[in-house]
Chains A and B, each alone.
Chain A
Amino acid sequence: MNGGRSKRLREKSVFKIVGIVLLMVLVGLMFTIVDRLPVIGNPDSAPNRHVSDYYIEEGPELTHSPNLVTGVLADFRGFDTLLETTVMFLAGVSVAMILSNRLKRHWDAGIFRKDENFGGYEVKVIMPILIPVIIVYAFYVLMHGEVSLGGGFQAGALLAMAFMLYIMFADLGKNKFRITQHFTVCVAACGVFIYFLTGFLCMINGGRFLEYEALPFSAEHGAELHATGILMIETGVTIGVMATIITILEAVVERNSLNGRS
């Protein structure tokens, strides 16, 4: 019995050594080709000649977005972004499912405030001023999304941060947010659905999925519809990301408060 166990241990350590050696070989392989990768900024390298040229030369005009990154992210490859938003939603649902084994528990911010002096007066005075500013800035990032770098993901993160700060510092005895994880997951689903709907409207109106020029709104130029479409999907992304972050946070806090009690 004892001999068998030590033999098994020895086998395991052999596997470990083999694994480490193989890993080293793969890492070595990666290093051998580092100098063969295209140089950054080299106009003759393959990535800069083929697709990128088209994006740079035609992109701003075709997508009506002065920002190249937004044009590629939300328009040329908008379908990828829909799926990335779905990944966020999926992560939120999964974390909530795995971490929660009980229901109908609400935010218990008490774990943040075990220490009476948590935050202190300065923070408690500053936060009511800061939180509205954060929310306003989040809307600015969202609305400015199709013009400048940025957009839905950042705006969603900012809104979620405002929510978190409010929960941590506000006097919850008086005005309690009664938000369940189910509710936040529903909000996240609505956010992703806004994105999905943008694509679907284009389809119903005779275009392809996410072909913004087929959106059923009136506009002088087709290009203006691109801006509308990008704004719509960014709104969806914002809501989805915000709700997902709150879901994950709520699941983690719920789990912690359960651990504390049991």
Chain B
Amino acid sequence: MSNMIISNLPVLVVLLPLAGALFCPVISYFSRRAGRLTVIAFAGTSFVLSVVQLLRITDVGKISYHFGGWEPPFGIEFSLDSLSAVLLVLISGTGFVSTIYSLPFFRGKSRFRSFGYYSVLSLLICGLLGMTSTGDVFNLYVFLEITSLSGYALIAMGGDKGVLSSFRYLMIGTIGASFYLLGIAFIYGETGTLNMYDMSGLVGPVLSSGTTMVAMAFFVVGFGIKMALFPLHGWQPAAYTNAHPGAAPLIAGVMGKVPAYAMLRFFFYVFNANTQYVERFLVVVGIMSALGMIYGSLKAIRQTDFRSMLAYSSIAQIGYVGLGIAITGYYGLMGAVIHIIGHSMMKSCLFFCSGAIRYRYGETAMERFGQIYRKMPVTCAAIVIAALSMVGVPPLAGFFSKWYLALGAANMGEYIFIFVLVISSLLNAVYFFRLFENMFMNKNVADGSKGIGAYLAVKAEKKAERDSVPFKEMAATKEGYKGRLEIPPAMLFAVIVSALGIILAGLFNAQLVEILGPAIREVV
């Protein structure tokens, strides 16, 4: 049995969440709670197995899994190196914590809502895991489809505004996926293969042909839309803001990063990034990212809603990843990968906290956060840790990615990128310290009374008004949360785990770099 599990690790990690999604509706027929716990159990098992897989890969090196026993160019392959194994641990971990975090939102909800949400969330985890582990370009597209569809559904579950922003995302996202599919078709026409490793061997002679160039342009646009790179980010702020609060951490934290990882795979592992043809595209990616870093930060400063500030900040942060890809070289790529990992944790943590505040007080406007640290000390501590990490304060995860990016840019002589990096970090500091000011120093709230406690009294008057709104998703906030802890234990667990993750990813950064090193050194 254990032998079976070890030899089939890659497929089990990806498909266990799928199995959870399939069991959930049937089990929910008998018990809602058991249905939710099934999904959590499967996601947890997947997380444990992904850790086992990472340990195994550090021992034996790369793993290649051939579906149906067919040899790679003919069948589908999962190819895993230490880079994808680390990301798998990250994704399944965030997914597992998200499934636990979502529990309080569905207490007392109808059977249908409960199983629908949990099935779709589980499928989102499956899609993200699959995109990371696959070694086949068309298989990547299918997983991208699963990821996008479940993303649309989870965003649409966030209420009326969610449906609208989900529809916009559906329009733009479908165009992005079509670009990627067209790109595959062109590249298949040139090389005759769909396997990534095989393609990297065959693509050399045709790299200069027009078809390949167009395919690469399409990959940049397709992945750019999916990861919300600067001029292609139109769908992103509304989608992240209005997503269902339980799924927002996973959507904002991980869903944008996996296409970025796929872009990195394409440029460095399929195409050889050191040739002049690919370098041109990397320059374009670099310019887009640098503009996005400034634009996203400036827009984030203007926001008054906590969630939309975080969403615009994500546009800036995905720029860091793009910048790392554009810088190339060992340090540039290391910076991009560490930023994918670090930023996933920070953004999930911030969205966990924003969802927790919304769960307790139904509030997302930052000016209403006055003195909130008295009521929710742990959540506020987590916000502070994540925000400091975003700014780049040394012992935390966010510092190291910026350090590597700056190092890489200096090595390559791209000093303009260092300048952009510094400016963007300063702007980060501006908007996060404004948040701190609201949380810790602001004594007044909008109506002139003191602190969030007084604000709640005013809010209770408006309760009847809000109750009449149809499609109200947040049943819990209507009643007000009454518990011994500041937020339900399931949410507190998620907040604490994600904050700890940021600290640990910072403290054990050397070990992380050591694990990632061989996979990155291979292509530079």
Contact = CB atoms under 8 A, between A and B. Distances in A.
A214 B470 CA distance: 53
A55 interface: yes
Given A47-B192, A80-B138, A97-B116, A86 B18 contact: yes
Contacts of A84: 142
Interface in A151-185: 181-182, 185
B120 A196 contact: no
A182 B112 contact: yes
A76 B68 contact: yes
B135 to A, nearest CB: 12
Interface residues of A, number: 59
Given A47-B192, A86-B146, A182 B211 contact: no
B29 A182 contact: yes
Interface in A198-240: 203-204, 206-214
B68 A101 contact: no
22 contacts: A37-B189, A46-B192, A51-B192, A76-B75, A83-B143, A83-B145, A90-B120, A91-B149, A93-B120, A94-B152, A97-B120, A98-B163, A189-B22, A193-B23, A196-B22, A203-B8, A206-B4, A208-B8, A208-B11, A208-B68, A210-B67, A213-B69
Contacts of A213: 69
Interface of B: 4, 8, 11, 15, 18-19, 21-26, 28-29, 65-70, 73-76, 110-113, 115-117, 119-120, 123, 126, 130, 138-139, 142-143, 145-146, 149-150, 152-153, 156-157, 163, 182, 186, 188-194, 202, 206, 209-211, 214, 217, 221, 470-471
Interface string A186-198: 1001101100100
A54 interface: yes
A59 B202 CA distance: 23
A90 B116 contact: no
B11 A203 contact: yes
A80 B28 CA distance: 28
A211 B11 contact: no
A100 B116 CA distance: 11
A207 B150 CA distance: 31
A52 B146 contact: no
A93 B158 CA distance: 16
A2 interface: no
Interface stretch (A26-34, A110-118, A119-127, A131-139): A26-34
Given A29-B217, A98-B156, A182 B142 contact: no
Interface in A46-61: 46-52, 54-55
A38 interface: yes
Contact of B190 (A30, A46, A77): A46
Contacts of B182: 30
B210 A32 contact: yes
Contact of B112 (A94, A181, A189, A193): A181
A157 B70 CA distance: 30
Contacts of A33: 186, 210-211, 214
A46 B142 contact: no
Given A37-B186, A50-B193, A97-B157, A209 B11 contact: yes
A103 interface: yes
Given A54-B73, A182-B29, A193-B23, 20 more contacts: A30-B214, A33-B211, A33-B214, A51-B74, A51-B192, A52-B192, A77-B76, A78-B67, A80-B139, A96-B116, A97-B112, A97-B120, A98-B163, A190-B26, A196-B18, A203-B11, A204-B4, A206-B4, A210-B68, A213-B69
Given A30-B214, A211-B68, A101 B471 contact: yes
Contacts of B186: 33, 37
A93 B119 contact: yes
Contacts of B189: 37-38, 45-47
Contacts of A93: 25, 116, 119-120, 153
A76 B193 CA distance: 14
A76 B71 CA distance: 10
